[in-house]
Chains A and B, each alone.
Chain A
């Protein structure tokens, strides 16, 4: 198995190039090597793809421990190809480690060093850390960090994750060699929380590690130009409400139908049983006194993962 970290970066809007450059620079700045940056583009022209290749190459400089792969999603549908881009990127990765980073977020230099260490030490298929949330003003030439923000969700372990998605896309690293290909496919019918869907499948089947959950390995940006948040305070309406209900229904269905593997059952300390145990069963078993631990902040927006947030 390769020890390379493959990072899938989705990007769909050329006017946000300076944000993408920061994102890529934070990858180049990783203390961990080797890296493979997979830039998944949404319907770029051939000349734009070439320009993107040059831009990224310039940021990498002559570092031969970083490779770059560019894939371009060219199908006309769906209009919002958020999941399709991730699948495109995943299919491009080798059998090493797999990570995701949206074009407008950044990682700290030690992120992959820390996360790979945990995967090696524990044998887990996925290791989680956390990220800091910052509020940013977007200007033409730079981003102005205005303040820190209290994250909308908090949680600390697997049972919390089964209940609420508190792990942003770039807060974890996957050992791809331990996970079958079908589990790592993002559901293209989901308009939201496509990453949570995959996380539930991975964590129901494979060992996960949450020991770095108090360690920040990157920043998640709330941008004041509204390009990555959906204001939902006071209720939802229209299309967002429909999407939300659909996603909630789908996620609940997922919890009811996804069974927990025997190995994960053992890790959770569940008694041996031949009956299938679902995620919902685990939540029920551990829910006494636990639900209150997963804090949903009063102002919680739907956390739409950044790439298609426009």
Chain B
């Protein structure tokens, strides 16, 4: 007996008693002790497991590899999708295994996510020392696996089979095992569903060969089975205990979560209670809310009243229904709600001046409450949000409001997305029969005589003016431009942008921010339609609630206003076809899948009835998505004749659907048909990569043919059936991106050789190498831009003199030094000199940087693209400033003075840098002043300006200058909070704030300032 124990004991070692680190319920749980011993003595070079599932066996192997410090490369092969024996499981299952592997064994273990047959190709013949087969357990499958992988086994190889002792559920491993054990030395453990050890190699390691030989002795085999069975059972108990602990922990977690939710709800209820109290205290603010609500209610009531009127008319024609309708009307007139709302109708008549007074009082009260009321911060914040929602006009210039608004829009967009996931009725035409005409036509020409055209443009976002200017320049004949916006400050900015407008008369009107672009166009400019035969309807569409719609506006402008030839095609079509009323753009493909009534049918139906149009919700629909189009004024008369009032439109509340404006957008083609006209859509083919049914017209006959064959008439009794499937959205065409960027960058512009560019450099104790570097690179860049005869470099020294360094350079002009007068002041001297000497553009450049040879050309091209009304920063390279910029318009919040192109017009209009700043923040101040006065602020990523990265100053003296500049900026642009913060920062490094009191900017400019992002003064990219 003792002998046989001794024999079995040779095949036990300390490793046999290790505890598995990865515990998981597994049919393999009992075999870990043997696995540890086996790895320790076999020491395979390559280990492969087929069928890893939850990883118990595999990680036991890995644990042994790591503990024994083996150089084994381990591979786990599995699809991790499950099978009919293990059940099927989700991605999280794999992720759990993967995470554990990465965390513990990434140095030598790799998960191979593939079928066994796919994976086998990646292993060389004779390369695997250790194979564990634990995949599908049907006889045919396991046999196939073994035979497929057999050539990969080395002469040291052993193969483990699991489930050799299972004889149920059609398991067939035992059958294969019976066959194989006849041909190879083997041993089988019977516990834990059975584990077969097959010695396939002809040159097995000595310990393994000895094990397999010894195990032939039945007594030894019994003892081995007994010993490893006992050891394995212990771990199984551990796993069971762990499962129970996990289960209990999970219960505790669930209970804690429940408790936490209860506590949160309790806190929320308490907060709600306090918030309600706070709202009561803010009586003035609530009055404001009430007033708005009453207005809304009154509007809705009027709409309802209009419906009743329309219904009454129908009732007269339909005798049978008339009694019930009349009863309904009488019932409504006698209803409690009508009587109750009588005061509302009174309040609507209260003069606006009184209303304004209430608003101001409300605003003041709200501010007082916020600052001094002894309320918890959470209640105050809620109070603020309530105030924002009910009285946005009061707070729209504050940064807190802008942040809240942005958040609110995102939340609404997310809510709409959720809503859109519910199926909406499909009413758009199938893609393949949604015909459009290719523009430009093959036969277009400038219309003569010139048509009487009014461009009606709503610019809520006044900073988009340069973009509209570029596109309007494509209209090859004079026209009248009518612009609306919503504040006098924006009007001033827009006036700045259009100061030298040369394409016709221009009129800018300020209108209430209500009804988006639609109300200003149809109500605010109602008179324009009577004096102009044609209109172009455009607006500063932002669509920032959906990233895929980022280029929707650019697409529309590019598609129907992208070149003079396109505009000529439009008027060729109008002239050839007097029956043509509206020409709109084919849909922007990323939004085509949203062509439907949305939540607007009811509103549209009500309005349509007033125009004598009958709608059917399930009939095919099309409309000029984006509400931009060319039209004959008379084609819009049905809606113009309704003489809509601004109050009929919903108050602005960042709606993205369900307003009268959204309803009218969907009715334009109906309106056109009601006026007796036809409508078409046009498409510029390069902007449509996958859109079918775009028809080219090379002659008038072809266009007539299009009009006779492909026109859709929405009001005809029979129309095509709508699409049956919701289309998959597609991305913007690459060509659109290319064109938008090309136009905004001006990269298609030829640099005028007469352009006079002067680079200005202010030195401060720079090395000769640096000064020669920046001057040399500036000269080279101007030469590359073709500006040889008009390019000069002006230098002034704020520190040590540099004249001796550059004395032989004829392109350099030195100004007399005035000592260290500061960065901005020194540049102002250079700038004044440059512009007085005829410069068109002054480029301020830091003395420790270097121009890319193409930088000046890129800056001049972009300046030309912006008609000289822009402040343009050359991008810092290689380490860019993280402030955000738009990669299509290149708009940025402010332009860095490190390398900055300043046009003469800007210097003449707003001057140069503010001398109050000694150094830093003067560029931010200049940028904000530029924006407030109708100049674009852009970054040019084609113009690289190289600068140092790793040696930036962060010493206290340097910080002192920086913080003091920030304080001056805060004082000038009205941010006491920012100033207070910097005062504290200055004190922390032992300095007092500067005693500089700059002149404050006008109140209406403050809207462009951004003090919410510390010294970035902008959203940042990282």
Contacts and interface: CB of A to CB of B under 8 A. Distances in A.
Contact of B887 (A25, A31, A144): A144
B89 to A, nearest CB: 14
Nearest to A291: B107
**Interface size classification for chain A:** 35 or more
Given A26-B877, A284-B69, A287-B69, A142 B949 contact: no
Given A109-B946, A287-B69, A59 B853 contact: yes
Nearest to B784: A58
A61 B1022 CA distance: 34
B880 interface: yes
Contacts of B73: 248-249, 252
B114 A163 contact: no
B178 interface: no
B121 interface: yes
Given A61-B776, A110-B951, A234-B94, A241 B112 contact: yes
B944 A25 contact: yes
A145 B122 CA distance: 38
Contacts of A242: 121-122
Interface in A116-165: 137, 139-148, 163-164
Interface residues of B, number: 50
B1000 interface: no
Given A142-B942, A235-B111, A280 B71 contact: yes
A53 interface: no
A286 B298 CA distance: 80
A73 interface: no
A298 B880 CA distance: 28
A234 B98 contact: yes
A58 B853 contact: yes
Among A21, A244, A245, chain B packs the most CB atoms within 10 A around the CB of: A245
Contact of A146 (B121, B737, B944, B1021): B1021
In terms of DSSP, what is the predominant structure of the interface of chain B? Answer: mixed
Contacts of A234: 94, 98, 113
A196 to B, nearest CB: 14
B738 interface: yes
B121 A29 contact: no
Contacts, number: 119
A82 to B, nearest CB: 21
Contacts of B742: 141
Contacts of A140: 738, 741
Contact of B99 (A21, A217, A298): A298
A139 B741 contact: yes
A44 interface: no
B106 interface: yes
A129 B801 CA distance: 36
B311 to A, nearest CB: 55
B876 to A, nearest CB: 11
Nearest to B949: A108
A145 B1021 contact: yes
A218 B75 CA distance: 36
A29 B110 CA distance: 42
Contacts of B121: 242
B572 interface: no
B727 interface: no
A143 B885 CA distance: 13
B102 A110 contact: no
B879 interface: yes
A25 B950 contact: no
Contacts of A291: 107
B1022 A147 contact: yes
Contacts of B947: 109
A234 B118 CA distance: 16
A217 B1021 contact: no
A216 B941 contact: no
A114 interface: yes
Contacts of A167: none
B227 to A, nearest CB: 31
Nearest to B122: A242
Given A25-B944, A58-B784, A219 B878 contact: yes
B356 interface: no
A50 interface: no
A298 B102 contact: yes
Interface in B748-806: 769, 776-777, 780, 784
Contacts of A58: 784, 853
A292 B110 CA distance: 17
Nearest to B123: A245
Contacts of B122: 241-242, 245
Interface string B715-747: 000000000000000000000011001100101
Contacts of A262: none
B106 A296 contact: yes
B107 A256 contact: no
Nearest 3 CB-CB pairs, A to B?
Answer: A235-B113, A142-B941, A108-B949
Given A110-B949, A142-B942, 5 more contacts: A31-B769, A110-B950, A145-B1021, A236-B112, A284-B69
27 contacts: A22-B877, A22-B878, A29-B850, A29-B946, A31-B769, A58-B853, A61-B853, A106-B877, A106-B878, A108-B949, A109-B946, A109-B948, A137-B887, A141-B747, A141-B941, A142-B941, A146-B1021, A164-B107, A219-B878, A235-B113, A244-B110, A245-B123, A252-B71, A280-B71, A284-B69, A296-B102, A298-B102
Interface of B: 69, 71, 73, 75, 94, 98-99, 102, 106-107, 110-114, 118-119, 121-123, 737-738, 741-742, 745, 747, 769, 776-777, 780, 784, 850, 852-853, 877-880, 887, 941-942, 944, 946-951, 1021-1022
Interface of A: 21-22, 25-26, 28-29, 31, 58-59, 61-63, 106-110, 114, 137, 139-148, 163-164, 215-219, 234-237, 241-242, 244-245, 248-249, 252, 256, 280, 284, 287, 291, 294, 296, 298
